[in-house]
């Protein structure tokens, strides 16, 4: 079996770093915040061995990929454009697009806007959602206050600096804090940043690491983020209201390609929506929903916390296409 290979691809004037393994139909794996290609480390082997070409980019702003300075360069249309450009740059006509966390909305929106290029779409943690009646940041501020993490991230330079002050503690705290191993997530609640505690303040620094996360993993994330830092990734959040404006034309559109949704039952994202409500509403947004998988005891870092289960769910979905 070939090892993971790394290279750079020029897409829409931005140089993206990609990790790649295997040959066959293309499967794009899109990471979330604050992650990179490495978050899919457990999926490369199983998917490649099953006969798929697995490609995980560092999306724009992250890790080894270019990070444009302009906040407005991180809209959803830019991000979907990168996926479309990447499919073409890889010499393919279509792909199955899989996204976790922020990668989920990118995957779902790519399937929404370019169903001709998407053989199937899978979202981990973040489900497809209809465009709301009002911009998201005022709605989130009204519902949860200024301490809600997505609201807190809006001010340029603040969370950027706080997360970069001690990257080792940042990754240690965020990865543990949102995981199923954190006892506080037995009943998931909104990720809130207490006043004066900074961007890492939604959880305490753990005494040790959960079994799915190693010291080598932490060191890898620190190394991958060492050059670019956190500003590019945070700029994705700073376009939430702009995305709402730009996507008005697709307010009532549905995701047509075959779809899969996977999440942990200790993940704040589906918990805020309500798992029963989420299950009931998914088929209306994704009419060709092939499966909904909830992983007991799993938190937000789906493919890292439950690598075998996620890989198997993806393979079942891929082989059914």
Which DSSP string corresponds to 276-310? Answer: HHHHHHHHHHSTTEEEEEEETT--S-HHHHSHHHH
Q: Which of 101, 160, 217, 267 is catalytic?
A: 101
In b/e form, how buried is each residue of 171-206, taking b as 16+ CB within 10 angstroms?
bbbbbbbbbbbbeebeebebbbbeeeebbbbbbeeb
Q: Which of 17, 31, 100, 300 is catalytic?
A: 300
Tokens linked to 161: 């600096």
CA dihedral 180→182→188→189, nearest 10 degrees, is -140
Is 101 considered catalytic here? yes
Please choose, from the candidates 177, 189, 120, 119, the residue with its C-alpha nearest in 3D space to the C-alpha of residue 148: 189
Asked whether 168 and 218 are in contact (CB, 8 A), the reply is: yes
Is 78 considered catalytic here? no
Q: How far is CA 22 from CA 27, 56, 176, in A?
A: 10, 12, 31
- Within 10 A of 162 (CB to CB), how many other CB atoms are there? 18
- DSSP helix/strand/coil, 254: coil
Task: Name the residues annotated as catalytic.
Answer: 101, 300
């Amino acid at each position: 079996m070939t090892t993971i290979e790394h290279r750079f691809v020029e897409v829409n004037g931005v140089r993206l770093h990609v990790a790649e393994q295997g040959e066959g139909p293309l499967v794009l794996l899109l990471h979330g915040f604050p992650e990179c290609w490495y978050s899919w480390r457990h999926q490369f082997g199983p998917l490649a061995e099953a006969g798929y070409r697995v490609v995980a980019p560092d999306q724009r702003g992250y890790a080894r990929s270019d990070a444009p300075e302009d906040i407005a360069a991180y809209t959803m249309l830019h991000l979907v454009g990168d996926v479309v450009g990447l499919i073409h740059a890889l010499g393919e006509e279509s792909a199955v697009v899989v996204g976790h966390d922020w990668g989920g909305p990118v995957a779902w929106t790519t399937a929404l806007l370019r169903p001709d290029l998407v053989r199937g779409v899978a979202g981990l943690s973040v489900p497809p959602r209809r465009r709301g009646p009002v911009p998201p940041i005022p709605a989130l501020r009204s519902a949860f206050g200024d301490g809600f993490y997505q609201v807190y991230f809006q001010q340029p330079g603040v969370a950027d600096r706080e997360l970069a002050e001690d990257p080792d503690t940042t990754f240690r705290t965020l990865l543990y804090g949102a995981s199923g191993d954190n006892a506080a997530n037995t009943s998931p609640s909104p990720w809130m940043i207490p006043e004066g505690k900074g961007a890492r303040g939604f959880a305490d620094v753990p005494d040790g690491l959960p079994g799915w996360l190693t010291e080598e993993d932490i060191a890898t994330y620190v190394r991958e983020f060492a050059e670019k830092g956190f500003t590019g990734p945070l700029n994705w959040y700073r376009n939430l209201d702009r995305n709402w404006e730009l996507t008005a034309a697709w307010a009532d559109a549905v995701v047509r390609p075959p779809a899969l949704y996977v999440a942990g039952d200790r993940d704040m994202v589906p918990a805020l929506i309500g798992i029963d409500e989420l299950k009931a509403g998914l088929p209306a947004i994704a009419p060709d929903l092939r499966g909904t998988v909830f992983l007991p005891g799993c938190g937000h870092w789906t493919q890292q916390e439950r690598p075998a289960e996620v890989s198997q769910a993806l393979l079942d979905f891929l082989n059914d296409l």
